[in-house]
Structure 1
């Protein structure tokens, strides 16, 4: 008689052990575990619909889970938003977080994401530059020009029709990276982006709202909006949301690339600002803290970070196939307020021509 059977006959407890081992092997090798059918979590099915709207919807579902996790994190370290410290001190009890950990840029861009411009301070993350490469009515606004303008220069060199409107009330114009060959598709004016209009003859510096500038330029849509205005972005964005949400229902740009300066901000205030951006359809897909600033201001914390947002509302080329075909239609010449300059004609007024 075979050895295992005779052993089990002499020692019944070995028979029980052998039966347990065989049963465990069966369950481990079985693709569906019958004992845990009620608690088993199926793996998420792969996205069957690969169209652009389906990919955006899939990314939005994942982002909503991040919002829920943020609330859990606030309860853990607050428990209310006003009790959360932006940059907690290094002492017991030691919570391992900074303010930026509550707002990760985790929205999954449905296109390729690429960093445009120089490395370090000045470059920007863009979602789907291929969507505007040959777009005939591509419009880009840039507020707060960098000293070399490498971001704007690369956008111009890699697209066939994009025009860049640059504004700064300190810089004299685009930086050296925007060479003479690229300048025909640029427009510059010395003015600032403000929460309200104050650009009369006696106003200095002259401040324009985005709504007023777009009206003066004859634009109803912007593909990429870049903002770096040294802390004024909070009141400007609040005003922008009020201006456009009431009239158009959606912000008039496809992407927002913005550096946030959280000097003197409290967590509850910043949370309300961030949730306002989310409420109007902005979703962060990439972020980058400004380590140059942190290196020179080591006692103050990492207070500057650049975020790139995709706008899910309205009709723009990054979230809708075939969108924005009628964008940037010029308004009538008489649409500008009486006495205001035509900003479209202010081109490199103070920029020296390269030799």
Structure 2
């Protein structure tokens, strides 16, 4: 007996076409757009893709920095932090070499008060419902509008504040069970006898039984250079990622030379820290007219490891823009 397809070839062809179309429409695979298509070049809709694109931009900044040093140097020893106003006057300051060119992959916003006290943060929405959210903040000196907004906008964040110049958080925070204050200082050594009591970040993490910090905020009046060196070097040696996802830092470059500042900054970069926002402290400058603009706020995201700002939680919705 002849096969069905031989007796009714048109019928068989129709069935084959229907099945093929069904598998194509319902199947998970879709062919990539043509390389001639504009859509083929838009590939930053996911969080990893946005991080990768931002890192590409930042690597260009590092290359451009070397070119700027060569132009005005030609070595880092020849670069002035703030050049004198005399011919030939080079058009730069130290901050020109370190622009915050890494793009925040989430929303960028100023948290806390406008003017003094507020800080630029990336992706605060990712902390709103995070169950193990931890914030460490050093050197508030009673200006705690940033910390207060964090507590107000999140459900679970615990804020740990340290400042040997203060006896409590500022008036923005009152009787919040998620806030913890100590009149201690952050330093590159442990010195618990006498006053002020100084602690390394490693010691505080061990005391508090924490293995991560979501946002680390530091304003310690020039001690940030030695302190961050002490924090970061062990992680560089071990190859482990830093234990914090975001660093908000005020830099005080008093009496710093460029060839001292540059390797310290490069250490931050080597550890995975990328600046996404900066703000020269013009309030300080207004009270110190005629002096150098040697204070600046910088906000960094840590691109190494799997912190919440660069990695979606395991139970996240696949579309990272929803998080």
Specify the TM-score bucket, using the shorter chain as the normaliser: 0.7 to 0.9
- Superposed, 1:28-67 pairs within 5 Å as 46-67=41-62
Aligned counterparts of 1:69 and 1:162: Cα–Cα separation in 2: 39
* Residue among 64, 72, 78 paired with 1:69: 64
1:139 aligns with 2:134: yes
TM-score (norm 1): 0.76
C-alpha distance in 2, partners of 1:323/1:93? 57
Say what the alpha-carbon RMSD is for the aligned residues.
1.8
What is the number of residues matched between the two proteins? Answer: 279
Q: CA 1:259/1:222 → structure 2, altered by over 3 Å: closer, same or farther? A: same
Deviation at 1:248, TM superposition (A): 6.3
Please give the alpha-carbon distance, in whole angstroms, between the structure 2 residues aligned to 1:163 and 1:248.
28
> Aligned partners of 1:312 and 1:193: how far apart in 2?
24
Question: Do structure 1's residue 297 and structure 2's residue 288 form an aligned pair?
Answer: yes
Q: Separation in 2 of the partners of 1:225 and 1:303? A: 22
Judging changes above 3 Å, is the alpha-carbon distance between structure 1 residues 215 and 45 closer, same or farther for their aligned structure 2 residues?
same
Deviation at 1:75, TM superposition (A): 0.5
Distance 1:324 1:224 in 2: 22
Distance in 2 (alpha carbons) for counterparts of 1:274 and 1:62: 18
Q: Following TM superposition, by how much is the alpha carbon of 1:50 offset from its aligned partner in structure 2, in angstroms?
A: 1.7
Task: Tell me the SS of whatever aligns to 2:177.
Answer: helix
CA distance in 1, matches of 2:202, 2:314: 21
Cα deviation, 1:171-191, whole Å, max 9, x if unaligned, reads 1110001133xx211001111
2-structure distance, mates of 1:324, 1:103: 37
* 1:184 counterpart SS class: coil
**Partners of 2:227 and 2:315 in 1: how far apart?**
25
Of 182, 204, 211, the match for 1:189: 182
Asked whether the 8 Å contact 1:316–1:323 carries over to 2, the reply is no
Distance 2:92 2:187 in 1: 33
Residue 298 (structure 2) pairs with residue 307 (structure 1): yes
The residue aligned with 2:24 is none
In the TM superposition, what is the alpha-carbon distance from 1:44 to its structure 2 partner?
11
Is 1:121 aligned to residue 112 of structure 2?
no
Q: Stretches of 4+ moved more than 4 A in 1? A: none
Is 2:263 the counterpart of 1:268?
no
Q: Specify which of 166, 169, 182 is matched with residue 171 of structure 1.
A: 166
Q: Give the CA deviation at 1:299.
A: 2.5
CA 1:103–1:88 in 2, change beyond 3 Å: closer, same or farther? same
Per-residue CA shift, 1:10-35, capped at 9, x if unaligned?
Answer: xxxxxxxxxxxxxxxxxxxxxxxxxx
**Aligned 8 A contact 1:122 1:146 in 2:** no
One of 220, 223, 226 as aligned partner of 2:214: 223
Alpha-carbon distance between aligned partners in 2 of 1:103 and 1:45, rounded to the nearest angstrom: 33
Q: Is the 8 A contact 2:44 2:53 kept in 1?
A: no
Distance (whole Å) between structure 2 residues aligned to residue 259 and residue 305 of structure 1? 6
Q: CA 1:44 to 1:74, structure 2 compared with 1: closer, same or farther past 3 Å?
A: farther
Instruction: For structure 1, list consecutive stretches of 5 or more residues without a partner in the other structure.
Output: 1-42, 326-355
Q: Distance in 2 between matches of 1:46 and 1:254?
A: 30
Give the greater-gyration-radius structure (CA). 1
Q: Secondary structure of 2:81's match?
A: coil
TM-score, structure 2 normalization: 0.83
**Which of 153, 158, 163 lines up with 2:153 in the alignment?**
158
Partners in 2 of 1:306 and 1:252 — Cα distance?
21
CA contact (8 A) 2:141 2:163 kept: no
**2:111–2:149 Cα contact (<8 Å) kept:** yes
